Each structure stands twice: as C-alpha cells, then as structure tokens.
A and B are shown apart, each in its own frame.
Chain A
C-alpha cells in the first residue's frame, strides 16, 4: 500500500467518524444507554402522565426497582397506559399496591413511586395496578388553590 493510499484511507475514516458522530447526536441516540432489566411486566393507567417517559425509573421507598417500558393512550378510556418492567427480585409486591407519579425535586424528572398495599397476593407478570394517582400539574394545583381562596 503506497503512502497516498494510506493517507486517503485515514481521511476516509476521519470523514466517516465525523459524520457518524453527527448522526448519533441527530438521530436521538436510538436506544443507547437504555438499561434492560429482566423482570415482570405490570400495567397501570393514569389520567395524566405529565412528563413521564420511557425509561423513567420506577421506585419503591425511593430506590429504583424498575423502568417504564412504554406509554400508550388506551383507545377506549383515553387514559395513558403505562407498561413498566419491575426487577424480578421484587416479586412479592402486594397486588393492591398504589402507583403515584412524582417529580424528583422541584424541577427534576418524573418517576413512578410504588406504595405497597396490604393484600396477601402479590403482583404477577401482566397484572394491572388499579389504584393510581396522576402527575401533579403545578398549574392545576395553583388554580385550585386560587379558586378555593375566591370562594371563601
């Protein structure tokens, strides 16, 4: 391989690397960094997920035990159907557990907090958490507060 060819090869690689860097950044990182956890799936419906997204953490007592896998609109109820994967280690969550959407800190990302219930049966793969509380939208809280004040 002569020198000129070597230079051209390196330049070709350089151009490809630059374009690849741009593409990776432009194409939304595809699924880079998504953590795959093996475990069981649980469904929950929320009136409003306000900012929850795929890969948002699912927490129990503040510790991450799973991830949100997908969020879709349920065609009949018009609610958001959240499918989450919970680590197989935590297979004894009571079936009447409660799912809340909270915000980490004042500005942070949204996550689902599971509050354990008291039932003897535990959640199985594909089960649905029926008791849910939607994300708190700051505007609605403020407007509720203002209306209550106005009534007094």
Chain B
C-alpha cells in the first residue's frame, strides 16, 4: 500500500462547542479524496486542522509521515483556500498572486528564476488563465479567481494538493478547466484532498469519499451516489441558509 501523505489520528477540534470529535483520516499517495458534508458539518475544519491552520484540541496530525510540529517540507503541499484572502485595497495581478506559489520553493526572496517563471507559466496554462496574467485579480469573475488560487498552488509543484471547496460558486467553464487541471495533476502522480459541497465534473476523478456529518466521519469509501433531486442533471444545488440543515447529507429522503 502507498505511504500516507496526510494522517489525522483521533483529531478533535473545539471552538466554543466541539466541531470535530475523534476524527481519523488517512490520505495515501496517489489518492484523490473528496471530503463531503453539509454546511457546518466540520469538513473544512478537518482539512484545515490537517494543515495546522486550526489547532487540534486532541489527537495528532502527520504530514508525509512527519508530525506536524516538526514538518518543514511545506513545498510538498499546495493549499487552495475557499476564496481569495481579504487582500485589501491594493491591487495585485494574477501573475503576482500565482508567483507567490513559488515561495515555498525559493529560499530568500530574490528575483524569480527561470525555473520559477516556467512553473508559473505552466500553472497559468493548466487553469487556462495565461491571457489574464497582467490583469488585477479583483477584475476577474469568482470562477477565474478560484482558478488563480489553484494556479498558485500548482505553481509550487506540490505532491499533495489540498483544496477547500474549489468549485463553490464557480461557473461551468471554470469547473471544467479545474477538473482538467486536476486530472493532469493526478496523472503525474499527485495526491489530492479536497472539500466539496457537490462533485459535478470532478466525480470521475475522485477515488474515495469521506463524508463528515456533525463532527464525525460518517462514511469512508466509495463515492456515494446523489439521491433525489440531486441526481437530476442540471440540478441547481442551493441551500437555504437556515440555522439547521436537513439531517441527511444528500438532502431529504
């Protein structure tokens, strides 16, 4: 069996109330794991805890077999957050944002080397944004911004790609471009851990699904098939922002 790339053992996270309870997750090299679950189920918290962005109240995290505390090889990880950071009032071009994906690979920041430039160009091409490199990210659509973030992660040439809801609110063209970029990444031996609300065009790429429900892992294995309205083609997945989501992951019975 392939070596573990990301491992959470008995992980627990609590803010004011417990968000995750005794979670065990192992992602092995070459896998494409989708973490599914309703809003507020704790799925985003789980992968953020796996990267050390959220402190664990209990349990441990290992990245590439090294405990998180001692892990230094961050160049092996590409992280794609849910959205572009607050990023303030100062404009930044797509090229500048994607170039910061090289930081984990460069020591002291100097000028970009030829290898850096090449990786940035390749990453932009992979998400089909080459012609927008000099545009300010604020002028892009939501889907294009998301692709910019994916390009930033790809530019670092990571072994593991961790994506937090990469397809949320993303137009169909961007979803397709993203699925293609992901297929290429996997074909070259990459491992993927992604959080998703719905899989859409990603479905065929996923090798395993983990369903988080109410802070615990409710399912770990084959990709569950959408039920009810979710199965209809062209289903528009909209959740009312009610305080309580329906209990079942795939909607009402």
Partners in one complex: no
> Which B residues are within 8 Å of any A CB, using their own CB?
none
> Which A residues are within 8 Å of any B CB, using their own CB?
none
